[in-house]
Amino acid sequence: MEEYGRQGVKTRLLGFILMALGVLDSLLTLRGGVPAYEYLLLILFGACVFAIGAVRGGRRSPAEAAEV
């Protein structure tokens, strides 16, 4: 049987990577003196992907729900 919370790990990792890249890119463009708002969309998209992975990881299988 799968461990609890095993699903959604790859999705959460992908979301975290997207958020980290968005933050790094936005900091680099701000250092150059040009505010870039398109990287905020990358951060928001990464947060959405991370949330989807967190929801998938928090689900219980029907067998586990029946035991409780």
Sequential pLDDT tens for the chain (68 residues): 455 557 889 999 999 999 999 999 999 998 888 877 888 999 999 999 999 999 988 866 666 655 65
Q: Is residue 1 part of a domain?
A: no
Chain center to CA of 15: 3
Q: Is residue 4 part of a domain?
A: no
* Number of structural domains found in the chain: 1
The domain containing residue 45 runs over which residues? 9-63
Q: Is residue 26 part of a domain?
A: yes
Q: How far apart are CA 57 and CA 53, in angstroms?
A: 6
pLDDT in the model for residue 46: 95
Q: Is residue 45 part of a domain?
A: yes
Q: Is residue 54 part of a domain?
A: yes
pLDDT in the model for residue 1: 46
Write out the two tokens for 58: 């928090």
pLDDT in the model for residue 12: 94
Q: Is residue 21 part of a domain?
A: yes
Q: Is residue 52 part of a domain?
A: yes
pLDDT in the model for residue 6: 76
pLDDT in the model for residue 47: 96
Q: How far apart are CA 57 and CA 38, in angstroms?
A: 29
- Sign of torsion over alpha carbons 5, 10, 14, 17: positive
